[in-house]
Every structure is written in C-alpha cells, then in structure tokens.
Amino acid sequence: MTIRAPEEAEDDPVIRRAERADLLAVVSIENASFDHPWPYDAFDDLLGEPGFLVAECEGQVAGYVVSDVTPTAGRRLGHVKDIAVHPDHRGDGIGSALLSRSIAVLAAHGADTVKLEVRRSNERAKRLYRQFDFEPLRLMPGYYADDEDAIVMIRKLE
C-alpha cells in the first residue's frame, strides 16, 4: 500500500530515480516521442545518474527526464538532455513535475546554470521551458539528424 501525505493528490506523479526495471518503459516512451530516439544502451549507461528521473502514475512509468551537471570553464553547468511524457499522459503536469525536480537535483549538485536544446518547431516544449524561466541563448543551425535547427535555452539558478 502506498501511503501519501495528505496534501498529495491521488493522481500526482511520483518522481524518483530511474532503475533498470524502468528502462523498457522509458525506451517505449522515447520511441513514441522522437523520430531519432536514443537506444536502450544510452539509457542503461545513465543509470545511477542523479538527474535521470522517472515519473510514475498508478505504478506505471509515464515519463522521464535525463539531466546531469558537468564542470565547464570553472562553472558547473546543468544540462537537461532528454525529457518525454507518454502520449496518453501529456498535458497533465507530468512534464512540469519532471522538469521541476530535475532543476532541483541539478541545483543540489552545484549547477549555477541549466541549459537545454529544443527543436525550433517544438512549440509545446518551448512553452514548457519558458514557464520555467528558460530563455533562448542562441541557435544551432542543423543540429538535429534531419537538419532542423536547435534553440539553446538557458536558465540561471539562484
């Protein structure tokens, strides 16, 4: 039986570290979300990374985020590398919950700035990121395998 805090709504996603048992569900969501999905091994290699999180709804993996912190030129730069929510669960706040927790994890690991790349055409994701105070920094022409441009967005942390 799952015991929930009184303020936690019944249908709030549980956000937790990814485990090996989650990977098939993660890859299935990845395949349903992207034309050029990451392979299983890419996620397998990231197990244990504090910023690799899944959202669980009613015992099922409904989404995930992959993020990490790397030292860059004397700073600690957080990077949200991949985020996706199962198509049946989009629009229910799961992406926001994952991004919020990811930013908190990156901050706890010393990141002073968080960056991400987003397809120029991905209005849904861009709206999500703007809500989390990410701002466009620059364009990376032809960044993706199909030659679409990426927008690099960043957010400074307190």
| Neighbouring residues of 15: CB distance < 8 A, sequence distance ≥ 6 | 53, 54, 55, 56, 97, 98, 101
Q: Which window, 12-20, 46-54, 101-109, 116-124, contacts ligand COA (CB under 6 A)?
A: 116-124
User: Cβ of residue 88: shortest distance to ligand COA, in angstroms?
Assistant: 11
| E strand or H helix at 32 | helix 23-33
Does 18 sit near ligand COA (CB under 6 A)?
no
User: Cβ of residue 87: shortest distance to ligand COA, in angstroms?
Assistant: 8
Tokens (6 digits) for 30: 């990845």
Does 124 sit near ligand COA (CB under 6 A)?
yes
Interhelix angle 94-108/123-131, nearest 10 degrees: 50
Does 30 sit near ligand COA (CB under 6 A)?
no
Residue 33 or 113 with smaller CB distance to ligand COA: 33
Does 92 sit near ligand COA (CB under 6 A)?
yes
Task: State how far the alpha carbon of 155 is from the alpha carbons of 73, 77, 92, in Å.
Answer: 17, 10, 23
Q: Which residues bind ligand COA (CB under 6 A)?
A: 33, 83-85, 90-96, 118, 122, 124-125, 127-128, 131
